[in-house]
Every structure is written in structure tokens, then in C-alpha cells.
Amino acid sequence: MSSSPSLSNQGTNKIGFGCYGVTESQANEWIREAIITGYRHFDCAFLYQNESAIGKGLRKCINQGLIRREEIFITSKLPMNGMDPTRVNYFLTKTLENLDCDYLDLYLIHAPFCVKYITDNQFYPVNPESGRLDIDHTTNLNETWKSMEQVVDSGLVRSIGLSNFNENQMIDLMASCEIKPSIVQNETHVYFQQKSLRNFCHQNDIIYQSFAPLGSAKSAAINGHDLVIEDATINQLAVKYQVSNSQICLRWHQQSNITPIVGFDSLQHIRENIKLNHFTLSTDDLAIISQLDRNERIFYFDKVPGTRSHRYYPF
């Protein structure tokens, strides 16, 4: 079992620009601002349905000489309806066309539960007879991973990894793979610290990334969760270090050997959330934040009935 090629060009700032929710009208301005501000890692996915807009924004910056392709790290993800091994290359080709690039630095399996392919953009197909998720019962994750390994061998992808997998699923996959996952990306924030999974990844030399590193305030509120960025302890630390609550949370990620993938709702937040290197949380303050863990997941990806009964449902 080997590792994927070097991931050293993730960006010296150890933070990713999350492209989920970026609209076509925002893409050019936000990506330009991100590159000027110092972001080098752009986290995309076919499921986000905005890769063409992201690709145009990145290409415009490259053509203007603001950045070279080899200076940025582009991630995308294989959707759940593309996990039949024969469809991996198909969806990768679509993503490369949309992003207007010749290769990806990283390609992740977006989630472990496979669904039937109906059309490219039906990610949660519903069986018309049962009203439940139309599950693909035939695809085996290990076979999907073999196809992921093949796109590394082809040169279309530099590294491969996983998203939303649990530890047992990773152990099973790694028992038979030729190229082990280079990166795992899962929901992680102050209220859901994923200590066991992080330890497993670090012990196996797998880079750990977090999505929703600020606790995804909008989704948390909709689902009745307390908001991480309004936590009283986080607020006290922000006052102590004279930074924002978001900066405290993101710095905790970095000092915990986690690369946060951050979403944004304004240009101001793009500028602010990368300014993390001018302060360091003390050992005592890191311990205080560690005690805030509630093991409280926000995202279950179960909006369609029947999802939780999938044999590969990870949570």
C-alpha cells in the first residue's frame, strides 16, 4: 500500500476556501479576493453544482497573472450517484471540464453511501414505488476505490481521499487498497471534535480536514443546535486575544493539526478568516476548548427517507 503524491501545495496558510454555496454572480469577485488575500486551497464538489463558475473564476485569475495553476490546490468530490466503478472517470471528466483544468490535486469520495444513477444531478434519487432513497445495492466501496486509484495512475488526479467515512469503513478500505487515502474530510468543530477519528488518521499518516469548522450557524439554527461561534467560552477567548470568535475556532483547528475548509457569506469574512498567524492559543486555552466537545453532529445527510438503512451509511 502506497501513499498518493506529495500534498505540500495545499497552501502554507493551512486553510481551505470552501466553494459550497458560492453563486455564479459571486464567483469571480470572491475567488479573486481569496487569491489576493492568500488562499491557495479551493474545495469544490460536483454536488455543489457550481464548478463551472468556480472554474471561470480561477481561470480568470490565472490568465490575469495573479496566480499559476501549480500554485493552487484544487479539490473536488465524486458524488454518491457516481460511485459505480464504471462512472468514476465519467464524473471526473465532467468536473475537469467544469473547472477548466487538466488535473485535480485531490479527488474525494463525497460520501460512502451509493445511490442509483438516474441523471447527473440527481444525488438523492427517490424510488417512485417506496418513496425512499433509491439505493445502489450492487456497488462495493473497495471496487469504487480501485477506480479512484486508476485515475491517479492516469495522471488526471494527484491524490485521492475520503469524506464522511467512519473509522471502520476506512479500516476495511485500507485493508485491500494499493493507494491509501491521503486525506479525510469530515464535519468537525468545537462542539463535534472527532477526537477518535482524528487520532486514527494521524496514526495512519492521513491528513485530516474539517468541513463546517465554525459549526455552520445556518444549519445549526435550523436543526435546533446551539451556535458554536456564539459560545460564551469562545467569546471570552476572542476578547482575550483581541480577535473574532471565528478566528479562535479556526486557530484551534490549525493548532490541533486539522485543516479547516471554511465557507463564507461575505468578502469581509474571506479577508478576516485567513488572518490566523498573528496569535497562538496557549496550551491551557487549547485544553479549555477541548472541554467544549459535545459530540454534537449537525449533518446527517438523511433528508431522504431510507438513507439511514443504507449498508454504507456512516453515522
Q: What's the pTM?
A: 0.95
The overall average pLDDT reported for the chain is 95
Rounded Cα–Cα distance for residues 105 and 312 (Å): 26
The rounded distance, in Å, linking the Cα atoms of 55 and 98 is 6
pLDDT of residue 273: 95
Q: Using the structure block, give the residue that is written with the C-alpha cell 472541554.
A: 291
> Confidence band (pLDDT; 50, 70, 90) for 12?
very low
- pLDDT reported for residue 1: 64
Query: Across the strands, what pairs with 104?
Result: 157
pLDDT confidence of 2, banded at 50, 70, 90? low
Q: Which three cell numbers stand for residue 203?
A: 496514526
Q: Cell match 471534535: residue?
A: 193
Contact 172, 118 (CB under 8 A): no
pLDDT digits (tens, 9 = 90+) for 179-198: 999 999 999 999 999 999 99
> Tell me: the pLDDT tens digits for 197-250?
999 999 999 999 999 999 998 899 898 999 999 999 999 999 999 999 999 999
Average pLDDT over residues 133-150: 97
246 close to 272: Cβ distance less than 8 angstroms: yes
Of 20, 39, 48, 208, which residue is the catalytic one? 48
Q: What is the pLDDT averaged over residues 160-164?
A: 98
Among 71, 66, 73, which Cα is nearest to 99's? 73
pLDDT range class, residue 7, cuts 50, 70, 90 = low
- The per-residue b/e assignment along 34-49, b for 16 or more CB within 10 angstroms, e otherwise, is bbebebbbbbbbbbbe
Q: Which three cell numbers stand for residue 128?
A: 417512485
Contact 56, 28 (CB under 8 A): yes
DSSP state at residue 18:
E
Condensed to tens digits (0 to 9), the pLDDT of residues 28-48 reads 999 999 999 999 999 999 999
Q: Reply yes or no on whether the pLDDT at 5 is more than 80.
A: no
Q: Catalytic residue at 48? A: yes
Q: Which amino acid is at 130?
A: S
Q: Quick one: pLDDT at residue 149?
A: 98
Ordered domains of the chain (ranges, CATH):
8-309 (3.20.20.100)
pLDDT value at position 9?
A: 46
pLDDT tens readout for residues 98-140: 999 999 999 999 999 999 999 999 999 999 999 999 999 999 9
Q: Which helix (H) or strand (E) holds 74?
A: strand 73-78
Tens of pLDDT, residue by residue over 35-86, are 999 999 999 999 999 999 999 999 999 999 999 999 999 999 999 999 999 9
86 burial via Cβ count (<10 Å: 0-12, 13-18, 19+) = exposed
| Residue 10 reports pLDDT greater than 90 | no
| pLDDT tens digits, one per residue of 265-305 | 999 999 999 999 999 999 999 999 999 999 999 999 999 99
Cα→Cα distances 215→5, 104, 289, Å? 31, 28, 14
